[in-house]
Structure 1
Amino acid sequence: MGEIVDEIGRVHRKVGTRRVASESAGTVLLRRTFDAGAAEVWSAVTSPERIARWFLPVTGEFRVGGSYQLEGNAGGEILECVPEERLRVSWLFGPDPGFSEVEVRLTPRDGSTVFELEHVSVVPEEFRSQYGPGAVGIGWDLALLGLGWHLAGDGLSPEEAVEWQSSPEARAFVTRSGEEWGRAFAATGADPETVTATTVATVAFYTGE
């Protein structure tokens, strides 16, 4: 497994907004290059058996128009699927989730694959103002960390993953991730005090401190 600083530095992060119908949705974008071909990365992010090894167990009807459910997490509908290129799903969690979609895009490049994940969601203003984009971004950083380990053949067993989540290394990763999402938030022109407050609150939420 790579050093935490190296893993954090492999991801480009961007925060933005988008109009969805008459509402303003927040967006977080993560971009990382994996040393694997597009077919291998596509298999890792679409095969239920492999998803369970780096993310969470998943059930459903794996076709466009079908539904899926991640164990203890989000579920939704498979909206678009272009093999080895693009996957778009609704991403619904809780009793009243509102609009939320995730799109994964793959671009082959010299034997490696540029992986992009964009999450677009409409969230209550009180939640956004308290936690900022890092509330979504840190979770996806953790997911990409697991995917990277899986593709490198260095993944964790479910028992090891649970143990790792409470380790000093995991807390360091979450803290650095939160700081990077704070920088991405600041790049949008957000108020510095808001950036600091939301970063602290989100890191504390993920670390339990």
Structure 2
Amino acid sequence: MLDIANHLKAIHREVRRGTTSGGETVTVVLRRRYDATVEDVWDAVTDPARVRRWFLPLTGDLREGGSFQLEGNAGGEILTCDAPRLLKVTFGGPSSIVEVRLTGDGESTDFQLEHTVPIEIAQSGAGALFVGPGWDGALLALALYFAGEIAEDPVAAANSRESQEFCAGSVQAWSTVVEDSGTATAEEISAAAQVSMAQFAPDLAGGPTE
């Protein structure tokens, strides 16, 4: 049985609004620690044979300057691939940037993911609710993988009632983070949360998220 409360607490979440040369952006930041070496975590998130065991089938020209595609999900260009510490890619479009950084002490690894999009896409900090719960689900799946709790069908597992309950808690957690960040209005957060529930926890949409 999935320990939803502890898995939700294991993830650190942030929402930031900033400015780059291309204009204003919104960034979601997630961090989680895994009981595995940096090299092992890097391999688990870049080796297609392992990625498909906890996430999705991965194909492409998997090198810096190449491209990738996650089956039924996003694809993009590989901008930086500095094994085993830094991976930076476009994700679903040229202005949507995902950066993964790994740091460790030999026994465990701190996994940090940042997903940055232009304000035109996010609209406000509430845009975090469109991607944050999905990334929470990926970090959960990776944790279960390292714990030896490997689903026969990761996609089916991600759509299970139990996983949707985790996602509902994730939507609530991200709503709180966005509110605390001051990057969106209450109305924007409420509207985005409804969309997020319909996407990530459709069987629970309209019901309680506790």
Q: Tell me the TM-score normalised to structure 2 length.
A: 0.87
- Verify: 1:178 aligned to 2:201, yes or no: no
Q: Gapped runs of 5+ residues in structure 1?
A: none
- The 2-side partners of 1:148 and 1:35 are apart by 9
Q: Which residue of 1 aligns with 2:193?
A: 199
- Where 1:133 maps in the other structure, the secondary structure is helix
- Alpha-carbon distance, 1:25 to partner: 1.7
- The 1-side partners of 2:68 and 2:149 are apart by 27
- What RMSD in Å do the two structures reach over aligned CA positions? 2.1
How many residues were matched structurally? Answer: 202
Among candidates 72, 81, 102, match of residue 98 of structure 2: 102
- Verify: 1:150 aligned to 2:145, yes or no: yes
- The 2-side partners of 1:162 and 1:99 are apart by 27
Contact 2:179 2:186 in 1 (8 A): yes
- Verify: 1:135 aligned to 2:130, yes or no: yes
Q: Which residue of 2 aligns with 1:40?
A: 40
- The 2-side partners of 1:131 and 1:15 are apart by 9
- Alpha-carbon distance, 1:130 to partner: 11
Q: Name the amino acid aligned to 1:103.
A: E
Q: Which residue of 2 aligns with 1:17?
A: 17
- Verify: 1:169 aligned to 2:165, yes or no: no
- Alpha-carbon distance, 1:43 to partner: 0.7
Q: Name the amino acid aligned to 1:200.
A: Q
Q: Which residue of 2 aligns with 1:82?
A: 82
- The 1-side partners of 2:168 and 2:150 are apart by 21
- Alpha-carbon distance, 1:99 to partner: 0.5
- Alpha-carbon distance, 1:47 to partner: 0.6
CA change 1:70–1:162 in 2 (3 A) is closer
- Alpha-carbon distance, 1:174 to partner: 0.9
Q: Tell me the TM-score normalised to structure 1 length.
A: 0.88
Q: Which residue of 2 aligns with 1:114?
A: 110
Q: Name the amino acid aligned to 1:60.
A: G
CA change 1:88–1:110 in 2 (3 A) is same
- The 1-side partners of 2:167 and 2:12 are apart by 16
Q: Residues 130-175 of structure 1, C-alpha deviation per residue, up to 9 Å, x if partnerless? A: 96311110110111111111111111112xx344344331221111
Contact 1:61 1:67 in 2 (8 A): yes
- Alpha-carbon distance, 1:198 to partner: 2.2
CA change 1:19–1:131 in 2 (3 A) is closer
Contact 1:130 1:198 in 2 (8 A): no
- The 2-side partners of 1:101 and 1:129 are apart by 17
- Where 1:56 maps in the other structure, the secondary structure is coil
CA change 1:146–1:165 in 2 (3 A) is closer
Contact 2:14 2:28 in 1 (8 A): yes
Q: Which residue of 2 aligns with 1:28?
A: 28
